[in-house]
Amino acid sequence: MDTTLDDPLVGQTIDGRYRIDARIAAGGMATVYRALDTRLDRILALKVMHPALAADAAFVDRFIREAKSVARLAHPNVVAVFDQGTDGPYSYLAMEYVSGCTLRDVLRERGALQPRAALDILEPVLAALGAAHRAGFVHRDMKPENVLIGDDGRVKVADFGLVRSVDTVTSTTGAVLGTVSYLAPEQIEHGVADTRVDVYACGVVLYEMLTGAKPHTGGTPAQVLYQHLHEDVPAPSAAVPGLPACLDALVAQAAARDPELRPHDAAALLGLALEARTQLSDAELDSVPPQAHAGERSAAEDRTSVIPRPVAAPEQPAEQTSRLMLSPLSVESDAPAPAAAAPVRSRRGPLLVLAALLLILGIGAGVWYINSGQFTKVPNLLGKTEEQARSDLSAAGLDVKRVDRKFSDAFERGTVMNSDPQGGKRIRGNGAVVITVSRGPEVVMVPDVRNRTLDEAKAELSKSGLAPGIVTQAFNQDVPQGSVISTDPPGGTRRAPDSAVAITVSKGRPVQVPNVAGKPLDQAKAALEFLGLTVQTAAEQVNSPAPAGTVANQSVSAGAQAAPGDTVVLTVSKGPRQIPVPNVVGQEADLARKTLEAAGFKVRVEKPFISFGNTVDAQSVPGGQTAPEGSTVILRVKGL
């Protein structure tokens, strides 16, 4: 059934700018619409928070945090956020509209994907998450529903509504947020959410793309969560025989139950995925998997869940504590919820009977006055200016009891970020409301960490309330190796708390690598170590034109710059290969030259001063004998 017709926002214009044309999707926190930006005449996606949640400052704060987090990423594989605002009871995000489908739609239709297709989707997802991780954020809700595949083939990550700073561990309620099929064990057991929970979720998504099914299934969310805690994600080849071992290894690394065994962030996992691709032949990349799992889905899965975490008694065993954590489960989902074990008796019936009796006794009017007539509802004040809030409260017959002012990175300076009681709550008609007005983002000073070690710089930034961002290295003659050259933004700059600060670390004075190819191994090692470089010798020797025992090649090319302590790997020559020489006597000289060059030899043709023919009369190495690859064979052309 098309519920678009029942949606009161369809056809409306939000904030005097965004005309809502159709509903795209709905979730527990917000509804997403296709809309037209009438000012710029472009189609976009408008994410509108449910009005019932708009009175909750924590939800609004999380909602606006999504806009700021994604806007800071500006990555081609992240759904862009254009605008954020409020219109009456509606808080919204204006986002990039991606015409296409989700990865979930693809898996439902096709089931297991070819390895090439799976990697083609995984790699841009990891690139997007890698940018978020290096900027100091964790997505925390990675799943196929949040991977958008455009009609033009572009892959984008959506729904950063659960993003947190890397240092954030749990929400204020202590509940675990996420989708049960993709939660990492540490999210379930301890509420920990660093970059490695996204890595784990990507490992589960890769398994699902390769096999068409989730690694852990069950009749209830609790069963799925138990498997995450106690069972490893199986190898994809167990479900799809013939899948290469490197894909099994990639899933095992990403979805390891112990977070210490996983790649530390999505950028590191992307490197492993690219390496795995190089190990696969075209036939392996394009192998067609069985489609037995197409459309398969467990009723207990794909739900964004809130799992209260009861505190176990000190004497309880760990296993029992885990079971307790899995039992009281509340699920938010558009899918039908399982029937309750027993009906909950409502108190509404007795209250209605009591009200009827009171009316019969003639005292109903007094009861109504006590319970309703003296009360009014607090208007929704979030996002309004202090002057507007005072006016709305006055219109409702309420006073302002007190105005508190606090820092906020979600609400603009001078706007209301909270009220007590909150909007929609009942209050006596002559009551007073405490409003909290935003002072804007609290700013911190970026410390000057130049010439400090990297660990010291990171500690100082964290102590100042900032997030150490991406670390790059550069040669510098003045700053010691391993010490900080500069930061972006530089020291002394004012920034909002938790802002990422990029760090550039010195590689020290550059060393120009000499050419040691063709030199004896001992001489080559001595020359490189004299410059402060570390030398390693490759385990296997190779055939090359260089004499046996000399250096065939070096891992860092001659003339390149390296830092002291960098490693140069030297490969030792076994000398040239001995290969058979073709017999070209009697052939025309041009044909003979081509034959020998194709076999791996150099050729020199010698002709007498007077010659009327062009036929090879003799060759310096007889046909059938062997000679070093690349050596020169002399051809003599018959004379008079």
Q: Which of 490, 505, 520 is the last residue of a domain?
A: 505
DSSP state of 625: S
Q: Which of 2, 21, 37, 141 is catalytic?
A: 141
How much is the pLDDT for 81? 87
Whether the bond between 489 and the residue before it is cis, its omega within 30 degrees of 0, is: yes
pLDDT tens string 561-576: 999 999 999 999 999 8
426 bridge partner residues? 377
483 and 428 within one domain: no
209 and 118 within one domain: yes
Q: Which stretch of DSSP H or E encloses residue 206?
A: helix 195-211
For the stretch 294-325, what's the b/e string if a residue is b when 16 or more beta carbons lie within 10 angstroms of its beta carbon?
A: eeebbbbbbbbbebebeeeeeeeeeeeebeeb
280 and 168 within one domain: yes
* Residue 474 C-alpha from the chain's centroid: 26
Q: Which stretch of DSSP H or E encloses residue 53?
A: none
Contact present, 563 and 590 (Cβ < 8 Å): no
How much is the pLDDT for 463? 87
453 and 421 within one domain: no
Tokens of 114: 């070819």
The answer to whether residue 356 is domain-embedded is: no
85 and 193 within one domain: no
Phi, psi of 626 (to 5 degrees): -105, 155
Q: Which stretch of DSSP H or E encloses residue 35?
A: strand 30-37
Domain count, the chain: 6
203 and 262 within one domain: yes
417 and 287 within one domain: no
248 and 170 within one domain: yes
The answer to whether residue 89 is domain-embedded is: yes
488 and 520 within one domain: no
3-state helix, strand, coil in the chain (%, to 5): 30, 25, 45
* Residue 591 C-alpha from the chain's centroid: 59
The answer to whether residue 361 is domain-embedded is: no
565 and 590 within one domain: no
SS3 233: coil
Q: For the purposes of burial, counting CB atoms within 10 Å of the CB of 221, is it exposed (0-12), middle (13-18) or buried (19 or more)?
A: buried
The answer to whether residue 345 is domain-embedded is: no
Q: What type of residue is 208?
A: E
Range of the domain at 521: 511-572
Contact present, 566 and 534 (Cβ < 8 Å): yes
How would you classify residue 610: left for phi > 0, otherwise alpha for psi between -120 and 50, otherwise beta? beta
Cα separation, 499 vs 265, whole angstroms: 18
387 and 246 within one domain: no
* Residue 158 C-alpha from the chain's centroid: 10
Cα separation, 261 vs 199, whole angstroms: 11
259 and 228 within one domain: yes
Q: Which stretch of DSSP H or E encloses residue 87?
A: strand 81-87
The answer to whether residue 387 is domain-embedded is: yes
* Residue 564 C-alpha from the chain's centroid: 34
Cα separation, 513 vs 525, whole angstroms: 12
How much is the pLDDT for 357? 39
Indicate the Cα dihedral angle 297, 299, 301, 307, nearest 10°: 180
CATH number, domain of 54, equals: 3.30.200.20
Q: What is the pTM of this model?
A: 0.48
Q: What type of residue is 595?
A: T
Q: Which of 300, 330, 360 is the last residue of a domain?
A: 330
Residues of the chain with pLDDT under 70: 1-5, 66, 161-178, 290-374, 639-640
How much is the pLDDT for 266? 93
Residue 141: active-site member: yes
The answer to whether residue 233 is domain-embedded is: yes
CATH number, domain of 294, equals: 1.10.510.10
The answer to whether residue 352 is domain-embedded is: no
Cα separation, 309 vs 306, whole angstroms: 9
How much is the pLDDT for 308? 39
Distances, alpha carbon 341 to alpha carbons 304, 344, 349, 466, in Å: 21, 9, 21, 48
How much is the pLDDT for 161? 53
How much is the pLDDT for 152? 83
How much is the pLDDT for 312? 35
How much is the pLDDT for 360? 34
Cα separation, 637 vs 616, whole angstroms: 4
How much is the pLDDT for 535? 96
Q: What type of residue is 475?
A: F
The answer to whether residue 22 is domain-embedded is: yes
How would you classify residue 150: left for phi > 0, otherwise alpha for psi between -120 and 50, otherwise beta? beta
Pairing state of beta strands 632-637 and 616-619? antiparallel
111 bridge partner residues? none
Q: Which of 572, 587, 620 is the last residue of a domain?
A: 572
* Residue 238 C-alpha from the chain's centroid: 27
CATH number, domain of 626, equals: 3.30.10.20
Pairing state of beta strands 567-572 and 534-537? parallel
